[in-house]
Amino acid sequence: MPLRRRVFSLTLGDRDAVLLRSWRRPHQYELRVGGVPQSIVTASDPTRLAYGYVRHIARAIDAAAPAGARLFTVHLGAGALTLARYVEATRTGSRQLVVEFERDLYSAVLTALPLPAAANVRAIFGDARNVAESPEAADWTGAQFTIVDLWDAAVIRHRVASREFYTRVAARSAPGGVVAVNLLDGHPFEYSRRQAETLRAVFAHVAVVLEFDPHDEDGPLGNVVAFASDRPLDIARHPALFGLPAPHVFAGDDLTAWIGASRIMTDADGTDSPDPDDPRWD
């Protein structure tokens, strides 16, 4: 018997997007694009988060404002709206904005897995870099928490990971607003180090969170989350907020040592994230 049942499938350019429902956990759904897992949603309990990196971002959201207080949250890249559902469940009525390139995918996800009727979630469709540069995107102003989760299948393009792009994200953030960037990398973390240095060129405070051993030369390719703000980050001052198992947190002098001589990424000198199909990750 198959472990998952297909809910929908649609073609996005040269890739297929598929939403699968688990047979063993009938309330759990997984979105895959181009065969790459993108999101997992537990419809019966949006606070149940399957991926470690999503839990790390959720803990930072928890720390960004008093429990239950509304938090203007911007999602660059929607997926199956896992964290938008989390924010609505934990901070009901929060204003949320989604910037999503794939309009048809967004519509299909909401048809299959609707948000609560009272959820205050608005979508802007288009390329996140273009939206960030558009004076017409007035709704994206004063973000208290911004999640940058911009994947082209399994790769992050450098045009949405450069100093120029992050400068525009910072300009749309509220004072003290937090930006969380979901990256993909592995030892020796050349890409993530450059991303951390790039964020430090824009924001006064940066922390990097890894859930695997940063010193393991044979370690896997995995998610790395960078947090940035113009004010001190609670998750850097109080890493116990992440709970157990405790991830590795680099901030302050530890982050400076970890970054080393890595250069910032600009539009002219940036790279895409590592290709997960590269043989070095086998």
pLDDT digits (tens, 9 = 90+) for 26-36: 899 999 988 88
Query: Quick one: pLDDT band at residue 217, thresholds 50, 70, 90?
Result: confident
Query: Residue 233: is its pLDDT beyond 90?
Result: yes
Distance CA 10, CA 15 (A): 9
* Residue 122 · residue 139 · CB < 8 Å: yes
Least-confidence region, from 30-39, 188-197, 270-279: 270-279
Residue showing tokens 């947090």: 227
Span 160-173, pLDDT tens digits: 999 999 999 999 99
Query: Residue 80: is its pLDDT beyond 60?
Result: yes
Q: Give the distance from CA 34 to its chain's centroid.
A: 18
Helices 82-90 + 52-63 axis angle, to 10? 40
Ordered by where they begin, the domains of the chain are 47-274 (3.40.50.150)
Span 28-70, pLDDT tens digits: 999 998 888 899 999 999 999 999 999 999 999 999 999 999 9
| Predicted pLDDT of residue 3 | 61
| Predicted pLDDT of residue 1 | 40
Distance CA 28, CA 19 (A): 10
Stretch 264-275: mean pLDDT: 93
Query: Quick one: pLDDT band at residue 23, thresholds 50, 70, 90?
Result: confident
Distance CA 78, CA 101 (A): 9
Span 97-136, pLDDT tens digits: 999 999 999 999 999 999 999 999 999 999 999 999 998 8
Query: Quick one: pLDDT band at residue 281, thresholds 50, 70, 90?
Result: low
pTM across the whole model: 0.95
Listed in sequence order, the residues at least 6 apart from 188 whose beta carbon sits closer than 8 Å to its beta carbon are 217
Query: Residue 6: is its pLDDT beyond 90?
Result: no
Reduced to 3 states (helix: H, G, I; strand: E, B; else coil), residue 256 is: helix
| Predicted pLDDT of residue 139 | 93
